[in-house]
Structure 1
């Protein structure tokens, strides 16, 4: 192969202009193909595909967990409700008048008088739909003559009171207060208990907390808009805290997202920014060329664009998650440029360069690519995209590096390269240091007993940066909870709205029983408010059957007699009489949505794309029985119980199992490539054994320091595996070349590996100084893996090589 590459080099040298134009045309074609890709942002693509997960994903695509921002206005003193209300009114005024109000869809927690009237009118106009079987027994009790008279006396007193002009409409249209039975159904919409309405606001029973819920406008869900919105809220709250006697705090996932994004930006600018400056200085100093960084990164960039273009041809779309992870893994492809440049620096000419470097670069490239391609066998879309992108990028980068670097890096053949500290480290015989060799072997043996004890942390919250003010706000909100409870979600689903409503009604009845039995603390459901067409018709028929002609006439007569005795007009209660004979009709979803206080859109989601309708209910359960409750409700047909944290942990557990499979696939694939390339079982084992030893040592160190795997660093471990393969292949190639040609070149291979180690440590290891837990997690695993890989390849691999080939040595 090296002969073909050298011939191509000679032809390009002879026709540089044509070669440059061809290369430029290829880049343009790759770029055009890459630009046509459709990008998928669905995080659910990380979920392994099974029959159960496919059903789950279909439902989750429809269910919308609207993460509201909670404003908690609080005071330590009792009897300060007016101060809380004053603060809330000031806040609402600022939110409405600010230009930043575009980021807010709605604010809940302030019940306006017109909304109360609208809700009352809606229930009274559709009263049969809000009456359950038990309610008719209560109505019967209210039809007793003495009860009727007593209620009408109450109506009269209400009319002659100072507030009579406000209550006149309500009491005359419903003197027996039948609508109160329907209004009780609205309590099922409330999940949080222990609150009351004070001056149109939601206030805790002890009067120390007032809550407002802000729903962000999903039209401004991009990171930039969310950051501006969060700044606006923080500034507004800070200003009001200084003016009022009470204080407020805000809490919500959007605020966590913004805080995490800001911290990651700060960490990366600080750590990676300094690392890049140091790295550029080292590369320019080592190679004595100021344009070297461009030469190094060009093959990587071309390889990445090439991969995207091929993915466009094959799939037409790609997961953004896979690209984000793949961008980190592209550090492997930078190694090929480093190896080629370092060997070129120490070789007399290009022909000699290709002779020494072609085989190890291609073997390393294809073994690493095959390891990545093994991700295609996992039933996870995002990881399959990652494998395709990373594998193609590695191949493209290696081939471009072999073809163009000898043209771009012009060395002065008359001048021997000056030895640097890296050359001196590369020349040091680590394998002859008995203490180092013995220590590594001993650590490996110990690691065999402890490697399986490294745990996988499924808790995503521990990867979040948690600002002090948000942690304190969360604790304060949790103090309002009654006991240690957990919020679960129940999704009733069907292909049509009516199917979903039927299922939801059955679920509603079960939730009522569960609450009565103490299995759940509270629940929020529209099951008693929004009914299926069949249920509405049944309730209307129940109303008609209940009000027989005789019963209706008797009641009307009683009301007229009582009205006469109280001096009221005979037609005073005509509205109520009309209600008794009204021809009620069934309602559709749009009718319910017109009542703003019902918040129907928070419960019902429809997806024409999935041909699915879901209705979400929320329940609070004791923490210790949450798992049992989920299992029970998941047994119901058409119901999915969702614990967002447990669901994530389940998915991530599957992800961990997928990576365990991946390791075996990768080892088998790498073994096949190596045995084909080297055609020597000893050399193949010599290359694979250090990779296995590196993995065991890394796991031992992680166990000793209490470092756990998580969803981020376990993916980064594929990067470490790739580097381990890279280092092992190059050391094996160097040892083999020395054995066959009696020419000392191993130090050159080791020097290029050291450069790779430095670039990787500066690029990823430096993030150990970051404040964000996720970046620290990535950095810690990278540091451990890279240091173990280079120590094993420099020390144990040459030692094992001498043992295997001691006769020829």
Structure 2
């Protein structure tokens, strides 16, 4: 086929979007910042920790003897220089020795000695002072002056001439400073086998490609260094090394898995579609959608998270679902536009709900999820638009290549495997409910993996390298970063000290291996003040010590003021800590604290066993102002953020999807049928994952959104297929199921191939995906059709109205009320029996009154059914009698019991022996029907003697089909033998309200009519069989009359409305409006046709409202509805009211055969014909086919009658706005005057019917005369 200009335009638009998408990719800022996992700015300590640690890199050089430092500093200097020279733009800030000067630190420690002393230190100092010879100490210090080579030494001598500070500091800080520096000043690894060099990345290497390139170059550098220094080989480690290793493994895994998956999927596509062209066109919706999304994101946002972009790959699964459905239908129809039209409603509704569901991610706390939601919604919207608006035009010139009527094995499978093979029997229902409850409970135990090492690709060599360079074993140990936060410097120090003290208390309990903290040095103000008081108090015990030192020092040649600093040291208050000032002013400690507008933050760290990390974190976090951060903790925060966002997504998306479906279907029933399987599927997925020990993580949790979206589409397509089959008689279910199966199969293969991946995070996708898709496939193909069949399908197929959700809930509540009421009444009757001083007969009267009231309340609670009563005044319960009534429902019993408390029912054995009702009916002396006739007669006489009226159902049991069955003779015999009148009560509609073997309360009308009493003399009516038959005929006649009365007004309205349930909210609304305006006309039409029409044609029947009405009112009438709108005929011909003798034909009313008709309806159809001539030609055809006396019911608007403007407006609304009626030409309304002339000419009598006061509409009958 030659491409049309629309096809060329569509392909050009497609190409333009692809080009724009390509340009947007080049200019789009793609970020891979980890902080996008959580909302930026919400956690500044965490931001600082991430920024500080992610750019660290460690190098080490092997050395043989760390005791000897010869040449080691030069070796470290050489490696640092070569690294700086080789990687000038990537690496810098190399540090292999501590830049802290002991000569600056030590005087400050001496200055603040008082701050660290406790009672044992004072005891030591007291003993020291009491034991020394001051002159001898001063003499030695003077001799040592000749070795003093710095002002620092001189200062310490003047401050501490007695030389006790060194010993006291050694008692306190022995080994403490090894965590900051060692004697040689060089950094070494924990085992002292390697020199450690710390460096930093000069730029961000979040981009995996840059990280891989840097690490590859570092390995090349290592090879060259090791060759030149075989005894001092180097190694390196850092976050960038881990990132590069993961990126390489991901690339290797994707190559393997994608090769396997794509090969199998392409093979499946070719085998099914048998057309290589399909495989190429299959990708177009995805390409268009992604290009469309990237273009919009570039224009309106400018940047996107690379993680979100990668996660967005799961969106392709849903886009591929669109392609499957389109090309599967195209394979069947061979017409692109017909395929599009068949798919339009389910695809637009499924796509819209999925897009809205992903749109909720815009409001998530995670920046990455925000971007993912943005990319997903734009991609899906673009792909959906492409499939529905552009793809048909691209495919149309090539559609001959796609038509394949050969039955494929998958099509044959889906045709054979129909849902009728699965029914909602008790066993299946119990199994599904039990599994759902089990998985619901299990889902509460679902674990979210927070150990990042289990998600990272972490080979053994990297673990060993981490152990060497950071002193921890990643398999067993964990390093916690501790942050003390305070609004002021003092507050931060106070928090930091509390943390340090608590760590000291729990050190042994949790196997804490290392603590790096200045908590021992930086003390809170209150401790400094207390310790200063203790210090001064101690020295007050040595009031003459300064004088003694001064006197003796002069004798040794010291100057007079040599030891004035000592006097100030022991006597004067010090307003601040020298050590604290040095800490916050020195560059050496700048990496251990930071300050911002929120206050001060001090950093510490602790290394401990993994098992105790969580508990230690919990205890430290309980300290006000303390923050615990570790590598796993960051991931835990991220997992918590994603989990909370995911919970938010599931709940909010579920609510949005539910109400979107409700708006789409217009009924709770179809909404529940579609939505409930999604809920069940989600419960099963999470429950089964929990049962199998499969953990969710930040990778497969995103995949769950894809499963949710795919399940949404599957459910909507399945509902559309089922609804088309059972509500319109159209077969699209096979294509829908084929598309669902193919989509599921390819997704399972695509994600299942990830089982071959070695990267833990990628491998984790496989299990969740395969399980998830398999579960939603099973639920879609099995459970959803079973629900549809139980609620609608089986009912309609058996000629019964479909259930409604409101009706189901009403029935559940009604039965619950009955069971609870019966149980309470039985218990009450037992209690009443034990009330003293009241006769048994009065007790029974009380219970009978309560029972009668409960029966009335039970019936009145059935608000879906109206009640009508006729001739109740014939009832007289003052005199005993026997009531007989037809029996088709459980409600019959309630209807009789409510009449009067004195009524007793003859009950069968099941009721009499029932544990629920048995005690009650036995106590109230109900007559058991299973007794022999003599026994029943005796019990009947006793009941009548006690003033009771006995009610008997002569049919013996409830009618299953609602038809009146044979009457047994027993009731007539008992009436004659007891001499009481027989009082017939006719019940109609109760069997429809709740038939036998049904627990559903239907809508309708329940009518009761009391007939005149029958008195049987003892010497008459020996032939009880004949009497029973004659009475039955009376019942049958009365039921027919009452049924005809019920089939008007509300009774008819409910029957017709139920025929159009689940066929769209607009159609239901249209019927309600139509009925409101037409119900009187329908009654008039029926009156004109009854007794005259045996073969009726309804020309222009539309949806069949009138046809069904007449078919119900006239069961013997044959009726054929005709309309050229196939959609209307499909709907009209597929209702539960369809019966033998009622048919619908899609045809043009001007050409359809109407042979054999004795009556014809032309309702609002003449004005759709092109001109008046065509109208009268149709009338000529109709009257020519009618026999003498035949009738044409004609209704239309007449252009020459008053108020025709209103008629024109209403028709414009119907044809142009809501488009309920199709038009082929301009509307031409008939003329009343011309009709009268035609009738006179053709010998037809006009009988005028109802007319509208506000319009030109008229109803009339044309009767063909001889």
Normalising by structure 1, what TM-score? 0.76
The Cα shift of 1:220 comes to 4.3
SS in structure 1 at match of 2:720: helix
Give the conservation status (yes or no) of the 8 Å contact 1:100–1:232.
no
Structure 1 Cα separation of the partners of residues 629 and 668 of structure 2: 52
> Which residue in 1 is equivalent to 2:318?
332
Distance 1:173 1:369, change over 3 A: same
Structure 1 Cα separation of the partners of residues 533 and 225 of structure 2: 54
Give the conservation status (yes or no) of the 8 Å contact 1:375–1:383.
yes
> Which residue in 2 is equivalent to 1:393?
379
> Which residue in 1 is equivalent to 2:79?
94
1:371 aligns with 2:336: no
The Cα shift of 1:434 comes to 5.5
Alignment of 1:225-236 (within 5 A): 225-231=210-216, 234=219
1:469 aligns with 2:457: no
Give the conservation status (yes or no) of the 8 Å contact 2:10–2:394.
no
> Which residue in 1 is equivalent to 2:722?
735
> Which residue in 2 is equivalent to 1:771?
758
Alignment of 1:556-575 (within 5 A): 561-562=555-556
> Which residue in 1 is equivalent to 2:198?
214
The Cα shift of 1:158 comes to 8.8
Give the conservation status (yes or no) of the 8 Å contact 1:486–1:621.
yes
Give the conservation status (yes or no) of the 8 Å contact 2:485–2:602.
yes
Structure 2 Cα separation of the partners of residues 413 and 509 of structure 1: 81
> Which residue in 1 is equivalent to 2:734?
747
Give the conservation status (yes or no) of the 8 Å contact 1:188–1:526.
no
Give the conservation status (yes or no) of the 8 Å contact 1:459–1:649.
yes
The Cα shift of 1:772 comes to 0.7
SS in structure 1 at match of 2:182: strand
The Cα shift of 1:796 comes to 3.9
Cα displacement string for residues 117-166 of structure 1 (whole angstroms, at most 9, x for unaligned residues): x441465489747873649979997899845743763674695xxxx69x
The Cα shift of 1:373 comes to 2.9
Structure 2 Cα separation of the partners of residues 590 and 292 of structure 1: 75
Distance 1:473 1:414, change over 3 A: closer
1:120 aligns with 2:103: yes
Give the conservation status (yes or no) of the 8 Å contact 2:95–2:198.
yes
Alignment of 1:613-628 (within 5 A): 613-619=600-606
SS in structure 1 at match of 2:319: helix
Structure 2 Cα separation of the partners of residues 316 and 248 of structure 1: 43
Give the conservation status (yes or no) of the 8 Å contact 2:323–2:387.
yes
1:503 aligns with 2:491: yes
Alignment RMSD (CA, Å): 5.5
SS in structure 2 at match of 1:219: coil
The Cα shift of 1:776 comes to 0.9
Structure 2 Cα separation of the partners of residues 603 and 689 of structure 1: 55
Give the conservation status (yes or no) of the 8 Å contact 2:726–2:793.
no
Structure 1 Cα separation of the partners of residues 671 and 730 of structure 2: 22
Distance 1:100 1:614, change over 3 A: farther
The Cα shift of 1:603 comes to 0.9
The Cα shift of 1:400 comes to 2.0
Structure 1 Cα separation of the partners of residues 545 and 501 of structure 2: 33
Give the conservation status (yes or no) of the 8 Å contact 2:422–2:786.
no
Structure 2 Cα separation of the partners of residues 405 and 502 of structure 1: 69
1:489 aligns with 2:485: no
Give the conservation status (yes or no) of the 8 Å contact 1:191–1:620.
no
Structure 2 Cα separation of the partners of residues 221 and 158 of structure 1: 55
> Which residue in 2 is equivalent to 1:677?
664
Q: Which moved more, 1:353-362 or 1:668-677?
A: 668-677
* Aligned partner (choices 589, 593, 604) of residue 604 of structure 1: 593
Distance 1:512 1:404, change over 3 A: closer
> Which residue in 1 is equivalent to 2:1228?
none
* Aligned partner (choices 182, 187, 205) of residue 197 of structure 1: 182
SS in structure 1 at match of 2:400: coil
Gapped runs of 5+ residues in structure 2? Answer: 798-1266
Gapped runs of 5+ residues in structure 1? Answer: 1-9, 565-569
The Cα shift of 1:210 comes to 4.4
1:341 aligns with 2:324: no
Cα displacement string for residues 484-516 of structure 1 (whole angstroms, at most 9, x for unaligned residues): 976433323356xxx2x2123223443554466
1:150 aligns with 2:133: no
1:429 aligns with 2:421: no
Alignment of 1:230-249 (within 5 A): 230-231=215-216, 234=219
* Aligned partner (choices 770, 781, 793) of residue 805 of structure 1: 793
Distance 1:315 1:535, change over 3 A: farther
Structure 2 Cα separation of the partners of residues 414 and 97 of structure 1: 66
Give the conservation status (yes or no) of the 8 Å contact 2:335–2:399.
no
The Cα shift of 1:777 comes to 0.7
Distance 1:40 1:233, change over 3 A: closer
The Cα shift of 1:475 comes to 6.1
Structure 1 Cα separation of the partners of residues 441 and 71 of structure 2: 59
Higher relative contact order (CA 8 A, sep 6+): 1
Structure 2 Cα separation of the partners of residues 89 and 426 of structure 1: 78
Give the conservation status (yes or no) of the 8 Å contact 2:62–2:231.
no
SS in structure 2 at match of 1:259: helix
Cα displacement string for residues 227-272 of structure 1 (whole angstroms, at most 9, x for unaligned residues): 3444455566677778667888755444332222221121112212
Cα displacement string for residues 585-618 of structure 1 (whole angstroms, at most 9, x for unaligned residues): 999999868856x3x23212345xx665422122
Give the conservation status (yes or no) of the 8 Å contact 1:69–1:252.
yes
SS in structure 1 at match of 2:43: helix
Structure 1 Cα separation of the partners of residues 639 and 533 of structure 2: 51
Give the conservation status (yes or no) of the 8 Å contact 2:419–2:781.
no
Structure 1 Cα separation of the partners of residues 372 and 732 of structure 2: 35
> Which residue in 1 is equivalent to 2:245?
259
> Which residue in 2 is equivalent to 1:353?
339
The Cα shift of 1:70 comes to 5.5
Structure 1 Cα separation of the partners of residues 788 and 795 of structure 2: 11
Cα displacement string for residues 620-678 of structure 1 (whole angstroms, at most 9, x for unaligned residues): 56877766654555455544344553564365346435534543433332222223223
Cα displacement string for residues 727-774 of structure 1 (whole angstroms, at most 9, x for unaligned residues): 222222223333355443333223323332344234432111100111
Give the conservation status (yes or no) of the 8 Å contact 1:537–1:586.
no
Cα displacement string for residues 285-324 of structure 1 (whole angstroms, at most 9, x for unaligned residues): 6556656555433433443454456667877765554444
Give the conservation status (yes or no) of the 8 Å contact 2:293–2:378.
yes
* Aligned partner (choices 442, 450, 454) of residue 453 of structure 1: 442
Q: Which moved more, 1:533-542 or 1:698-707?
A: 533-542
Structure 2 Cα separation of the partners of residues 679 and 742 of structure 1: 20
Give the conservation status (yes or no) of the 8 Å contact 2:261–2:753.
yes
Structure 1 Cα separation of the partners of residues 342 and 406 of structure 2: 20
Provide the aligned length of Structure 1 versus Structure 2: 765
> Which residue in 2 is equivalent to 1:525?
517
Cα displacement string for residues 669-723 of structure 1 (whole angstroms, at most 9, x for unaligned residues): 2222223223344433332343344334434553554322223222211111111
Structure 2 Cα separation of the partners of residues 220 and 577 of structure 1: 53
Give the conservation status (yes or no) of the 8 Å contact 1:126–1:584.
no
The Cα shift of 1:779 comes to 1.6
> Which residue in 2 is equivalent to 1:785?
772
Structure 1 Cα separation of the partners of residues 240 and 783 of structure 2: 50
Give the conservation status (yes or no) of the 8 Å contact 1:155–1:172.
no
Give the conservation status (yes or no) of the 8 Å contact 2:105–2:579.
no
- If each structure's helix is expressed as a fraction of its own residues, which one has the higher value? 1
Distance 1:644 1:612, change over 3 A: farther
Give the conservation status (yes or no) of the 8 Å contact 1:72–1:209.
no
The Cα shift of 1:726 comes to 1.2
Structure 2 Cα separation of the partners of residues 173 and 415 of structure 1: 97
SS in structure 2 at match of 1:614: strand
Distance 1:692 1:229, change over 3 A: same
Structure 1 Cα separation of the partners of residues 726 and 70 of structure 2: 85
Structure 2 Cα separation of the partners of residues 155 and 296 of structure 1: 95
Structure number with greater Rg is: 2
